Amino acid sequence: IAENYIIVTALEESFRRFAIHGDTRATGKEMHGKNWSKLCKDCGVIDGKSITLTDVDIVFSKVKKKSSRNITYDEFKVALGELARKKYKEKTGEEAEAEVFKLIEGKAPVIAGVTRAVASPTVSRLTDTSKFTGSHKERFDPTGRGKGKAGREDIVDTSGYVSGYKHRGSYEKKVNKPTEGKPM
């Protein structure tokens, strides 16, 4: 029964997650250089001392096929093996690989802090609608919310009254007064 199920390791799952990161057409079977670098950065393979971003790029170029821009899962494991031996020089090849695999297993791309608004005093001063003057002031209601189209365009008053007339609507009341008791 177990033969029918494909066992996906935690390492393979991480490979797939990083392979499809940021690419809507990616299948998760191959990973390109940018995501390989991101995986190494996010999982702590790059430490800035024994392994740098340059080392990661060189290993990627070494393991991929000449004409290809991507690496497969098998090439990915070979690349990790090379980095592992460089990162953990004091350990044997298998122990070093196991250490690096542990760093990556179960991890997913970090997307934190990509678009975070900076709350500087200058920005808050410039976006405080209560301090707006002139025609800009007309675009917001007293709470600071935008009025939308009403705030951008002059809406034509078709009531028939002159703007600023205080007794708007009083004419209809005069004309349509009930005429009970008054002779015609």
Contact between 56 and 64 (Cβ < 8 Å): no
In this structure, are 69 and 145 located in the same domain? no
The average pLDDT across 156-162 equals 78
Residue 11 phi/psi, 5-degree rounding, is -65, -45
Residue 155 clears pLDDT 80, i.e. is over it? no
pLDDT category of residue 147 using cuts at 50, 70 and 90 = confident
pTM score of the predicted model? 0.56
Same domain, 51 and 131: no
The helix/strand/coil state of 19 is helix
Q: Based on the domain organization, do 119 and 99 belong to the same domain? A: no
* Highest mean pLDDT: which range of 16-30, 55-69, 109-123, 168-182: 55-69
Token pair listed for 57: 């790029």
CA distance 137 to 145: 11
Domain residues for the domain of 145 are: 115-153
94 and 42 within one domain: yes
pLDDT tens digits along 97-108? 888 888 888 788
* C-alpha–C-alpha distance, residues 11 and 142, integer Å: 55
Q: How far is the C-alpha of 19 from the C-alpha of 145, rounded, in Å?
A: 42
List, for residues 68-110, the tens digit of each pLDDT value: 889 998 998 899 888 888 888 888 888 888 888 888 887 887 7
Same-domain pairing of 62 and 33? yes
* Domain identity same for 63 and 130: no
Judge contact between 14 and 107, C-beta under 8 A. Answer: yes
In a shared domain, residues 83 and 147: no
The SS3 call for residue 133 is coil
Tokens representing 106?
């179960």
53 & 16 share domain: yes
**pLDDT tens profile 32-54:** 888 989 888 888 888 888 888 89
Q: Summarize the confidence of residues 47-65 as an average pLDDT.
A: 89
What's the pLDDT score for residue 58?
Answer: 92
Q: Of 43, 74, 103, which residue is a domain's last?
A: 103
Together in a domain, 88 and 137: no
Whether the predicted pLDDT of 1 surpasses 50: no
Looking at 64, 82, 103, the residue that finishes a domain is 103
In a domain, 121, yes or no: yes
Domain tally for the chain?
A: 2
128 and 91 in a single domain? The answer is no
DSSP E strand boundaries for the chain = 30-32, 70-72
Q: Which residue has the higher pLDDT, 71 or 3?
A: 71
Task: Note whether residue 62 is domain-resident.
Answer: yes
Q: Are 59 and 119 part of one and the same domain?
A: no
Instruction: Tell me: do 16 and 90 sit in the same domain.
Output: yes
